[in-house]
Amino acid sequence: MTPDPAVIADRAAPTVVTPVMPTSPRRPSWIALRAEPASVAKGRRFARDVVGGYTLDDDYLYLVRLLVSELLTNAVNAARAMRDWPYDSWPVRLDVAATNRWVYVAATDPDHRPLPAAAVGGLEAENGRGLHIIDGAATARWPIYREHGKTIHVVVAAPGVTLTADELRRIGVPT
C-alpha cells in the first residue's frame, strides 16, 4: 500500500490550497421563495453561497447581492400585489449561475404584467430606483413575459472582464 503523501513520519505535511475558479458553471442553481420580505435576505444568502465559490472579490460579491436584493424586492412586491399567498406557497423563484467571467441571475414572479416605467424623482425617490441600479451595474438585463408570470434576467461581468457577443449569446442574452 502506498503511504499517503500528506503524511510524512507520522506528521501531516503542510498543504497549500489555491482556489480554482471554474470558467463554466457546474450547474445553475435555483431556490423557490415565499412572497414575503424575509425572502429577499434568504435570496441574498443563497446568491452569496453560489457566487462565493467563483470569486474572491468582495466588492463584486456585494454588487451581485445588491442586484439580487433589487430583483427579489420587485418580485416579492409583484407577487404580494396580486393577492395574499398561503404560507405554504412559494410563488417567487431565484436562479443563479456563476463562472469566473460572469454571474447570471433571474427572478421569476407570478405577475405577467410588464414592468412599470422607470420612476421619475432620481435617487431621492421612494420607489423605482431598483431597475436604475440594475441597469447601471449589469452587462445585460431583459424580461421574458409569460401568461402566468415574468422573469427578469440579469448578467453581470466579473471585474475587468468584457464579455464577447458570443459569450452573451451562449448565456442567453437576446440579440
CA distance 8 to 86: 60
pLDDT band, residue 14 (cuts 50/70/90): very low
pTM of the predicted model as reported, rounded to 2 decimal places: 0.80
Query: Which residue, among 42, 23, 161, has the nearest Cα to 93 in the 3D structure?
Result: 42
When pLDDT is cut at 50, 70 and 90, the band that residue 124 belongs to is low
Catalogue all structural domains in the chain, each as residue range(s) with its CATH number: 28-171 (3.30.565.10)
Higher pLDDT, 120 or 139: 139
Say what the pLDDT of residue 131 is: 84
Mean pLDDT value of segment 149-156: 96
Query: Which residue would you say has higher pLDDT here, 19 or 175?
Result: 175
CA atoms of 131 and 141, how far apart (whole Å): 9
The DSSP-derived string for 44-68 is: HHHHHHHHTTT---HHHHHHHHHHH
Higher local confidence (pLDDT), 39 or 124? 39
* pLDDT tens readout for residues 44-70: 999 999 998 888 899 999 999 999 999
pLDDT grade for 125, boundaries at 50, 70 and 90: low
